[in-house]
Chains A and B, each alone.
Chain A
Amino acid sequence: MDVQIWTYIIVGFTFAIYIGIAIWSRAGSTKEFYVAGGGVSPLANGLATAADWMSAASFLGMAGIISFSGRDGSVYLMGWTGGYVLLALLLAPYLRKFGKFTVPDFVGDRYYSQTARVIAVICALFISFTYVAGQMRGVGIVFSRFLQVDITWGVIIGMAIVFLYAVLGGMKGITYTQVAQYCVLIFAFSVPAIYISIMLTGNAIPQIGFGSELIDEPGVSLLDKLDGLSTELGFDQYTTGKKGTMDTFFITMALMVGTAGLPHVIVRFFTVPKVSDARKSGLYALFFIAILYTMAPAVSAFARTNLLDTIPNTSYNESPEWFKKWETAGLIAWKDKNNDGIIQYTKGNAFEGKPTYIKNRDGEFERGEHGEIMLSNAHVKGENELYIDKDIMVLANPEIAGLPDWVIALVAAGGLAAALSTAAGLLLVISTSVAHDLIKKSINPNITEKGELYAARLAAVGAVLIAGYFGINPPDYVAAVVALAFGLAAASFFPILILGIFSKKVNKEGAIAGMLIGLVSTLAYIVYFKFLHVNLNKPENWLFGISPEGFGTVGMILNFVVTIVISKFTPKPPVEVQKMVEEIRYPGEIKS
């Protein structure tokens, strides 16, 4: 059997499971639709949170980014796990005790203000939409690369699957499919990692393996060899960083705080029965996430070592099979600048932008002297001749290491599981925000339970369609927009949630001003450097050397300061609100 058949079998099998769960777990009430009836066990919620959290970017993108940036990649490793400490310690238990459906619910009630609620809904919708577009795109890409299906059809198939379990099952359906999806994605990520770890170092645990000695070269550890290869070829050492310390600090903080402020993550903690369960499921969630996040840097180091060991200074004719396969897919490209037929790989770009191939009249690729596909990209000075897409490090890793076909197929199923589970979680936040926070709480409070459930399903349908549209016609700025989602979550939600729990004095004037300041400052900074003046986006132009990715931290600090100062000079919150704050601080019923 070849890879394609294996992929059809494995992907088809996992999809059958998801659909089966969707039919089994239909939601009958708004409570089931929004928070799975509040009866999910902490273990199941931990698994679901892990799948919800780990997107196509975690599964496919992150190991690739670390592979190319070495130690600097640790901002993602620490940033996307450290936020769970904040969630489990500072937010989840109290928001669970509060006992409502959404984050805007808390903001609206705690700050006794319709304005605050509406600002929160707008933030939640904006964050979720920016995020979900990238997920649908991820689904399309996996389909097109592994099954040779057109990206458009890939997105449509993905939409149909998400539609089934998100629209029918709501949170209940999503939760149990996410449990299944976690199992698929972690299995798919681990199998190649363990295989390669054993091949290179003889150690079956990749987390230990990437620091171990090589089988082929006893006495040399893998990372030392990688550092050696890197510097020999003119790259920076793999195990040291280039990014400024301050910038690293701010980016890591923005990612951590942003994680803790993302509505689709917070809402998962509303599904467990008790406060102690919320704490416990925070622990389970991070445990299941950590399995992938500690393995990812190992995969990065393995892939980088394999790549640097096999490709540079090899002639194109002798390059391995996978090299040519991914060249056809446009993820690898080679421009023989010095015309010697040998692949030179060193620092710098091989040419400008992503590869654009020249095709002849019959629609076939124009081939060069050595058989390589010809490029029409603008020339760039420098000796580097090789273009490699970051995504390839996970996608092609099994092939580069020569693993069996079924492992390659498994990676496709894992990538789909990661993208679909995150998309579903985000779609639910969107539909809840529209049906509950906007329609029920703002526009028509008299809507019946049945009407609200109907509205929630309709909103989910709308959200799936919009997400699908962006998946098929992706805006150019998907990557830039992710920085925006985290920055905004950090700068808008996090401070006022924390203050709303830990202070009784913070009031609506403070919170509204704080949210707006955090939002506007972060938005302005990111839009300025990422959209309006992309050419100025350089360290020497940044405020205090902080990149747009790290600016959410500044927005967060501004939000904290403004909220506290304004609350000092404006009336205290009403007694009922102070009582409510008192109540959420204790896990049990208050008798006094």
Chain B
Amino acid sequence: MDQKDRLRYWRKNLRYLLILLVIWFVSSFVLGILFVDYLDGVQRTPDGVVEDPDSFFHGFRLGGFKVGFWIAQQGAIYAFLAIIAAYVWLMNKLDKEFNIEEKEISTSDH
């Protein structure tokens, strides 16, 4: 592997990471936390939670679940799994593309 190849390999890795981490953030923090009430079709007021008829998702059910609730308690975890699976697949492909031969790493003190 020459210097140019190594840089290309690293840049590609960083690009994969960026895309996958954006998906990670959106699937948990954006959909599961910031917009969870909207996806549930409810609104928070000082007097408590009320229905939000303006929400596109009001009254909508995903197999019996409110959408936000499902993402926060199920969907996000499935997304995490898919993200790691994608990364494993992409990196194995990248290693092959760059002909990286992996040897067993000898763990040692020196």
Spell out A's residues near B (CB within 8 Å).
Answer: 31, 35, 38, 66, 71, 73-74, 77-78, 81-82, 84-85, 88-90, 93, 96-97, 99-101, 207-208, 211-213, 221-224, 236-237, 239-241, 245, 248-249, 252-253, 256, 270, 273-276, 279-280, 282-283, 286-287, 290, 293-294, 297, 440, 582, 585-592
Q: Is the CB of A208 within 8 A of B63?
A: yes
A88–B80 Cα distance when bound, in Å, is: 11
Bound Cα distance from A440 to B1, whole angstroms = 36
Chain A residues, Cβ within 8 Å of B40? 239-240
Q: How far is the CA of A93 from the CA of B100 in the complex (A)?
A: 14
On chain B, the residues within 8 Å of A237 by CB distance are: 49
**Contacts between the two chains (Cβ within 8 Å), count:** 172
Chain B contacts for A81, CB-based, 8 A:
76-77, 80
Report yes or no: B87 in contact with A89, Cβ–Cβ below 8 A: yes
Q: How far is the CB of A589 from chain B (nearest CB, A)?
A: 6
- By a CB distance below 8 angstroms, the chain A residues around B100 are 586-588
Chain B contact residues, CB within 8 Å of chain A? 1-3, 6, 9-10, 13, 17, 20-21, 24, 28-29, 32-34, 36-37, 40, 42, 48-49, 61-66, 69-70, 72-74, 76-78, 80-81, 83-85, 87-88, 91-92, 95, 100-109
Residues in B neighbouring A274, C-beta threshold 8 A:
102-105
Taking the closest CB of chain A, its distance from the CB of B23, in whole angstroms, is 9
On chain A, the residues within 8 Å of B103 by CB distance are 274, 588-589
Cross-chain contact A276 with B95 (CB below 8 angstroms): yes
Question: Could you tell me the distance between the alpha carbons of A81 and B72 in the complex, rounded to whole angstroms?
Answer: 12
Check B73–A74 contact: CB distance below 8 A: yes
Q: With A and B bound together, what is the CA distance between A239 and B71 in angstroms? A: 12
Smallest CB-CB A-B distances: 5 pairs:
A211-B64, A74-B72, A588-B100, A221-B64, A211-B65
Given A239-B40, A248-B33, A253-B29: A223 touches B64 (CB 8 Å cut-off): yes
B29 surroundings in chain A (CB, below 8 A): 249, 252-253
Evaluate contact between A239 and B107: CB separation under 8 angstroms: no
Assembled-state Cα–Cα distance A516/B70 (Å): 39
B69–A239 touching, CB < 8 Å: yes
Would you call A85 and B84 a contact (CB within 8 A)?
A: yes
Q: How far is the CA of A185 from the CA of B55 in the complex (A)?
A: 41
- Contacting pair B65 A279 (CB below 8 A): no
B74 touches A294 (CB 8 A): yes
Contact indicator B24/A588 (Cβ below 8 Å): no
Chain B residues contacting A245 (CB-CB under 8 Å) are 33-34
Asked if residues A89 and B84 are in contact (CB atoms below 8 Å), the reply is: yes
Assess whether A38 is in contact with B80, with CB atoms less than 8 Å apart. no
What is the distance, in angstroms, from B51's C-beta to the closest C-beta of chain A? 10
Would A273 and B104 be within 8 Å (CB), given that A207-B74, A279-B87, A592-B3 are in contact?
yes
Given contacts A78-B72, A245-B34, contact A84 B84 (CB under 8 A): yes
